[in-house]
């Protein structure tokens, strides 16, 4: 090793190797020259040994990024150009993935995925229904719906750039990571892919679910005459309720029931429960999502319920609505004739109601961070409910 050879030579050799002119030959760094100066000072002070040289060189070897050429083998210890390029490519891919993840609003993507899986399971009547045909139909619905979800949340960001600079400055369009053209390209491509899958599959319930979601999502966000319905609190809430509570439950259930299994369309007790419960939940999400964004909404004329009524009344209205929904769910679960369904639905909803109340009491309504954290907690309750819905029998 080059360092071993350096330490085994006499002091005069050290000084020659560490001389500053060597810098011009590309063999040493500025750090090595400083080591040489330190060695000379200690030698002048009467230190006759080379121990301080060894420790100093070792420290620079461990902690500094100085470069040298191996005097024995002639191979450079610098990173290979190919390895450096791979590292840069890997960093670019990670940063791009992170930006796209923030752009797609992952909490909505997870909610959409869980809701479709949960509603699809409601169509299962016997264990043998879990066949490759079932999973193919589920995958078709899932991918096309997720693509439409990304279109809707992306379109909303395109027309909310200035608002998001106040409310959500970490989003890619608001932060400048994405240009307006990049955002437009992404939402256009995902809308086309969503409708493409819907047309190729040939399921009318699936196609209408995508089409109605597209219309409502566009009307909610786009800034054109008679549109941008998010400006009106009641209309905005109805848009979210229609998609999350009605379309997701009915259309995707009918896709599995009629198109995948080829059975007649029926409205079952679990489906009615899922639609009714998610109506409450969708209203809560529609109301609560504006509570943390009150500053930007005020500035840009978005008259949400939080702007009109204040954060505290809307916050507790949302909590009480959810507690009412859990109470009704417990009562419905208690009427089930299936013992395991009765036990899981009653216990599960009771636990969620208690957790909701405990967390709501601890929220500081003057803290935007606390309110935002509680909003994400509501989405976790939303996910949990879709785990309980298939157990309602």
Confidence of residue 197 (pLDDT cuts 50, 70, 90): very high
Is residue 377's pLDDT more than 80? yes
DSSP label at residue 105: -
* More reliable by pLDDT, 149 or 240: 149
Residue 75 confidence class, pLDDT cut points 50, 70, 90: low
Q: How many whole angstroms separate alpha carbon 312 and alpha carbon 28?
A: 66
The mean pLDDT value for 46-65 works out to 46
Whole-number mean pLDDT of the chain?
A: 83
Distances (CA, A) of 166 to 107, 305, 373: 20, 19, 17
How far is residue 316's CA from residue 6's CA, in Å, rounded to a whole number? Answer: 73
Residue bearing the bigger pLDDT, 291 or 73:
291
Calpha distance 116→393 (Å, rounded): 18
pLDDT of residue 270: 87
What does DSSP assign to residue 6? Answer: H
Please state the length of the chain: 393
pLDDT of residue 170: 93
Q: Distance (Å, rounded) from C-alpha 69 to C-alpha 176?
A: 43
In percent, the amount of the chain with pLDDT more than 90 equals 56
Higher pLDDT, 21 or 332: 332
- For the ranges 6-20, 36-50, 207-221, 234-248, the lowest mean pLDDT is seen at 6-20
Q: In the Cβ-directed half-sphere of 365, how many Cα atoms lie within 13 Å?
A: 12
| Residue 77 binned pLDDT confidence (cut-offs 50, 70, 90) | low
* Percentage of the chain modeled with pLDDT above 70: 80
| Interacting residues of 339 by C-beta distance below 8 A, sequence separation 6+ | none
CB atoms within 10 A of CB 202: 10
Question: What pLDDT, in 10s, does the model give residues 334-358?
Answer: 998 889 989 999 999 999 999 999 9
CB 392 within 8 A of CB 273: yes
Residues 6+ apart with CB under 8 A from 177: 99
Mean pLDDT to the nearest integer, 220-232: 91
What's the sign of the alpha-carbon dihedral 126, 278, 188, 181? negative
């Amino acid at each position: 090793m080059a360092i071993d050879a350096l330490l085994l030579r006499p002091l005069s050799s050290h000084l020659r190797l560490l001389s500053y002119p060597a810098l011009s030959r590309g063999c040493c760094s500025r750090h090595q020259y400083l080591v040489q100066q330190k060695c000379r000072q200690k030698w002048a002070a009467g230190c006759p040994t080379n121990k301080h040289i060894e420790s100093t060189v070792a420290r620079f070897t461990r902690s500094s990024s100085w470069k040298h050429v191996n005097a024995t083998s002639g191979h450079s210890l610098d990173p290979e150009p190919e390895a450096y390029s791979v590292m840069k490519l890997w960093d670019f891919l990670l940063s791009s993935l992170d930006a796209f993840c923030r752009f797609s609003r992952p909490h909505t993507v997870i909610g959409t995925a869980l809701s479709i899986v949960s509603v699809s399971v409601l169509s299962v009547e016997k264990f043998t229904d879990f066949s490759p045909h079932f999973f193919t139909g589920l995958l078709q619905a899932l991918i096309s719906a997720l693509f439409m979800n990304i279109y809707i949340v992306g379109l909303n960001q395109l027309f909310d750039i200035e608002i998001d600079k106040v409310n959500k400055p970490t989003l890619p369009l608001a932060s400048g990571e994405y240009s307006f053209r990049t955002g437009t390209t992404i939402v256009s491509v995902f809308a086309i892919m969503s409708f493409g899958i819907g047309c190729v599959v040939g399921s009318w319930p699936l196609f209408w679910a995508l089409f109605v979601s597209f219309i409502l999502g566009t009307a909610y966000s786009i800034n054109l005459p008679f549109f941008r319905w998010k400006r009106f609190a009641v209309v905005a809430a109805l848009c979210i309720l229609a998609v999350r509570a009605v379309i997701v439950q009915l259309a995707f259930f009918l896709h599995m029931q009629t198109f995948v299994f080829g059975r007649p369309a029926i409205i079952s007790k679990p489906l009615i429960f899922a639609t009714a419960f998610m109506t409450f939940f969708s209203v809560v999400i529609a109301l609560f999502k504006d509570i943390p964004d009150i500053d930007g909404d005020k500035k840009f004329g978005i008259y949400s319920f939080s702007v009109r009524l204040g954060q505290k009344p809307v916050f507790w209205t949302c909590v009480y609505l959810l507690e009412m929904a859990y109470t009704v769910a417990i009562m419905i679960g208690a009427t089930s004739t299936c013992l395991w369904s009765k036990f899981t639905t009653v216990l599960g909803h009771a636990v969620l109601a208690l957790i909701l109340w405990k967390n709501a009491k601890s929220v500081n309504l003057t803290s935007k961070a606390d309110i935002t954290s509680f909003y994400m907690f509501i989405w976790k309750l939303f996910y949990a409910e879709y785990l309980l819905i298939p157990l309602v029998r």
